[in-house]
């Protein structure tokens, strides 16, 4: 999880999702507020209005899928499976690749919406990390006593 996402919410969103027994409106609104970069202000987009209508009627899984579609256009749901009391969800950029070649992000939870949103938050953290340059930029400290000197010897 990136420092940016952790800094926005004291217990990280991933921890909150893992600890939550079921999806709630306040938790969904916190995810939208802190993990969504493309979500336009209410009323400015039909897609955001649709997501808010789904939240209003507590259609959590549909809202999670719509949020993934809006926020992660390059990612797709690769797998949703229910096994031994838990939902397992995988999001992938290359859904058609075999499992062993794909770098899917997987999450699991007893609640389907929380499993989907856990994977979503992990992808958001992963894409936020990869968006930063690999080499940190450092501003040179300007020394008031520094004066460039030409040292070429043409003799």
Rg value, the chain, Cα: 22
Residue 119: predicted pLDDT: 94
User: Which of 21-30, 47-56, 72-81, 100-109 shows the lowest mean pLDDT across its residues?
Assistant: 100-109
Asked if 121 contacts 14 with a C-beta cutoff of 8 angstroms, the reply is yes
Identify the DSSP state of 74: T
Q: In what order do the strands lie in the sheet with 105-109?
A: 76-83, 86-92, 105-109
Asked if 112 contacts 93 with a C-beta cutoff of 8 angstroms, the reply is no
Q: Is the pLDDT of residue 23 over 70?
A: yes
Residue 63: predicted pLDDT: 96
Residue 26: predicted pLDDT: 94
Across residues 95-104, what is the average pLDDT? 76
Residue 48: predicted pLDDT: 87
- The larger pLDDT score, comparing residue 22 to residue 127, is at 22
Asked if 80 contacts 65 with a C-beta cutoff of 8 angstroms, the reply is no
Q: Is the pLDDT of residue 65 over 80?
A: yes
Q: Is the pLDDT of residue 104 over 80?
A: yes
Across residues 2-28, what is the average pLDDT? 75
Asked if 90 contacts 75 with a C-beta cutoff of 8 angstroms, the reply is no
pLDDT tier, 8 (very low <50, low <70, confident <90, very high otherwise)? very low
Percent of the chain scoring above 90 in pLDDT: 48
In whole angstroms, what is the distance from residue 33 CA to residue 94 CA?
A: 28
Give Cβ neighbours of residue 79 (< 8 Å, ≥ 6 apart). 88, 89, 90, 104
User: Which of 3-7, 53-57, 121-125 shows the lowest mean pLDDT across its residues?
Assistant: 3-7
Across residues 20-44, what is the average pLDDT? 85
Asked if 85 contacts 100 with a C-beta cutoff of 8 angstroms, the reply is no
- The larger pLDDT score, comparing residue 48 to residue 95, is at 48
Q: Is 50 helix (H, G, I), strand (E, B) or coil?
A: helix
Residue 94: predicted pLDDT: 82
């Amino acid at each position: 999880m990136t420092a940016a996402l952790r800094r926005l919410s004291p217990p990280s969103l991933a921890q909150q999702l893992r600890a939550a027994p079921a999806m709630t409106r306040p938790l969904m609104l916190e995810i939208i507020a802190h993990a969504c970069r493309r979500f336009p202000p209410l009323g400015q987009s039909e897609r955001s209005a649709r997501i808010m209508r789904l939240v209003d009627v507590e259609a959590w899984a549909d809202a999670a899928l719509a949020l993934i579609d809006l926020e992660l256009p390059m990612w797709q749901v690769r797998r949703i499976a229910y096994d031994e009391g838990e939902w397992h969800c995988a999001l992938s950029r290359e859904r058609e690749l075999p499992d062993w070649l794909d770098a899917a992000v997987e999450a699991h939870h007893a609640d389907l919406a929380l499993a989907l949103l856990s994977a979503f938050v992990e992808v958001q953290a992963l894409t936020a990390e990869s968006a930063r340059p690999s080499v940190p930029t450092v501003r040179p400290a300007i020394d008031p006593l520094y004066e460039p000197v030409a040292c070429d010897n043409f003799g």
